[in-house]
Amino acid sequence: MIGVVIGIGTIFAYEYTMKATSTDEFCTSCHVMAAGPFTMLKETTHFRNESGVRPGCADCHIPASGWPKIWRKIQASREVWSHITGKIDTPEKYLAHVDVMKGREIARLKANDSQECRNCHEVEAMDFEQQSRMAKRAHSRMQDGDRTCIDCHDGIAHDKAALEKLVGKNSSSSKESS
Ligand code: HEC
Ligand code: HEC
Ligand code: HEC
Ligand code: HEC
pLDDT at position 3: 78
Domain assignment present for residue 115? The answer is: yes
Q: How far is the CA of 79 from the centre of ligand 1 (A)?
A: 5
CA atoms lying within 13 Å on the CB side of residue 83: 12
**Closest Cα partner for 78 from 97, 64, 106, 55?**
97
For residue 60, the domain's CATH number is 1.10.3820
Nearest ligand to the C-alpha atom of residue 118: 3
Report the range of poorest mean pLDDT among 12-26, 61-75, 164-178: 164-178
52 lies in a domain? yes
Q: What is the pTM of this model?
A: 0.93
Mean pLDDT (whole number) for 63-83: 91
The percent of residues in the chain predicted with pLDDT above 90, rounded, is: 65
3-state helix, strand, coil in the chain (%, to 5): 65, 0, 35
* Total H helices, total E strands in the chain: 11, 0
3-state SS of 9-61? Answer: HHHHHHHHHHHHCCCHHHHHHHCCCCCCHHHHHHCCCCCCCCCCCCCCHHHHH
Q: Which of 110, 121, 132, 139 to mutate to test the pocket of ligand 3 (most atoms within 8 A of CB)?
A: 139
Residue 119 contacts residue 64 (beta carbons within 8 Å):
yes
Tens of pLDDT, residue by residue over 9-26, are 777 777 778 787 889 999
Q: Is residue 26 included in any domain, yes or no?
A: yes
Which-ligand-closest: CA of 37?
Answer: 4
Q: Which atom of ligand 3 is nearest to the CA of 132?
A: 26
When pLDDT is averaged across residues 58-69 and rounded to a whole number, the result is: 92
Residue 156 in any domain: the answer is yes
| Ligand with the closest atom to the CA of 159 | 4
Reply yes or no on whether the pLDDT at 171 is more than 70: no
pLDDT value of residue 141: 85
Q: Would 176 be classed as within a structural domain? A: no
Cα(62) to ligand 3 centroid in Å equals 22
pLDDT given at position 169: 74
> Atom 38, ligand 4: which residue's CA is nearest?
38
**pLDDT at residue 76, as a whole number:** 92
> Alpha-carbon distance 137 to 163, whole Å?
31
Residue 129 lies in a domain: yes
Mean pLDDT of 148-160: 94
Query: Residues lining ligand 1, judged by CB closer than 6 Å?
Result: 21-22, 26-27, 29-31, 57-58, 61-62, 78-80, 82-83, 87-88, 100-101, 104-105
Please give the tally of structural domains in the chain: 1
**Crossing angle of helices 77-84/66-75, nearest 10°?**
20
The number of beta carbons lying within 10 Å of the beta carbon of residue 91 is 20
Which pLDDT score is estimated for 8?
Answer: 75
Higher confidence at residue 9 or residue 88? Answer: 88
Given a cut of 70, is residue 173 above it in pLDDT? no
pLDDT confidence tier of residue 177, bands split at 50, 70 and 90: very low
Residue nearest to atom 36 of ligand 1 (CA): 27
More confident residue, 158 or 143: 158
Within a domain: residue 178?
Answer: no
Look up the domain containing 164 and give its range: 2-171
Asked whether residue 91 is domain-assigned, the answer is yes
Tens digit of each residue's pLDDT (9 = 90 or more) over 112-145: 999 999 999 999 999 999 999 999 999 988 877 7
